[in-house]
Amino acid sequence: MANKQQVVASVLAVALLLAAVPTVVHSIGVCYGVIGNNLPSASDVVQLYQSNGIDSMHIYFADTNALQALSGSNIGLIMDIGNDNLAAFASDPGAAAAWVQNNVKAFPGVNFRYIAVGNEVAGGDTQNILPAMRNIDSALSAAGLGNIKASTAVQSGVTGGFPPSQGTFSSDASSYMTPIAQYLASTGAPLLANVYPYFSYMGNQAQIDINYALFTSSGTVVQDGGNAYQNLFDALVDTFYSALEKAGAGNVKIVVSESGWPSAGGDAATADNARTYNQNLINHVGQGTPKRPGGMEAYIFAMFNENQKGGAETERHFGLFNPDKSPAYQMNF
């Protein structure tokens, strides 16, 4: 009996110890773009997310069809306001409030996580990001939706510096990024970062090995003080963290709002590379980065190959699925 009691006590002690360890949240989502003329209905898309165990989605405007289909699904959502709304929302709190009422409050069954106030904004419009974020946050609070945070999505080009510990906001971005970072620190919202090792590799193939970009390096590639980098994704994310620290916003977390690899249309754009990158990203998100170990939230770009996207041919080949809902290549979520 004593032995049995000791075993029970030991099991209980271990259970209490495990309960005291904070659970690290990690999540893998997929971006749902709709720049195509042959895509499935929004309700079919939501079913495809659910049948594949994809728990989060990123959409690029207030898509009523998607919002209706998402209602009751519990799929976590990042929703962009659309860059064309930035100037109006920056100058007119009423316009921001009406948008929140019509597109957020009107869909109580949707699990909104973040509102992206601008996505890779460039030029003079960058000065509208922060005032628009303030007005969206105020509108969310006034609507009783203060748990939904406003942020903005930026690309790696707003940072510079190597190795990752030397990361800063670049000279042409710091004037707007530093106040944005400090504002996010005050609200508890994350910074949304679009992180693409593919484009970094394409821009510097002479110095970046493709295995470093694909998560397939056999060992450390970059040693940065006490931090060892075996993949480019971690290095890019930690460059953002260093930039946030130098801006006085070291408590702001990064949510990777886009990342992916094209399966056709250009150099190194093959189905095998796309599968390798995206599967390794899925497997990696639970680990975090050397600067921020633990789980992280990331969104793969994108759900479908979108045949009407402009730009380089690769832009039309980032999809995990074909428009007929068949996999572009096999993945395990």
Instruction: Measure Cα distances from 263 to 36, 255, 259, 297, 320 in Å.
Output: 17, 24, 13, 23, 9
- Verify whether residue 245 is a known catalytic residue: no
Peptide bond into 163 cis (omega under 30): yes
CB-CB contact of 44 with 322 (8 Å): no
d(CA 317, CA 304): 8
CB-CB contact of 261 with 200 (8 Å): no
β-pairing, 168-169 vs 159-160, is: antiparallel
The catalytically annotated residue of 245, 258, 297, 315 is 258
Tell which residue, 263, 323, 271, 288, has the closest CA to residue 32: 323
- Verify whether residue 315 is a known catalytic residue: no
The catalytically annotated residue of 120, 245, 306, 313 is 120
d(CA 50, CA 47): 5
Place of tokens 């170990």: 293
d(CA 111, CA 113): 6
∠ at Cα 256 (253, 259), nearest 5°?
Answer: 160
d(CA 219, CA 228): 9
Counting every residue, how long is the chain? Answer: 333
Catalytic residue IDs? 120, 258
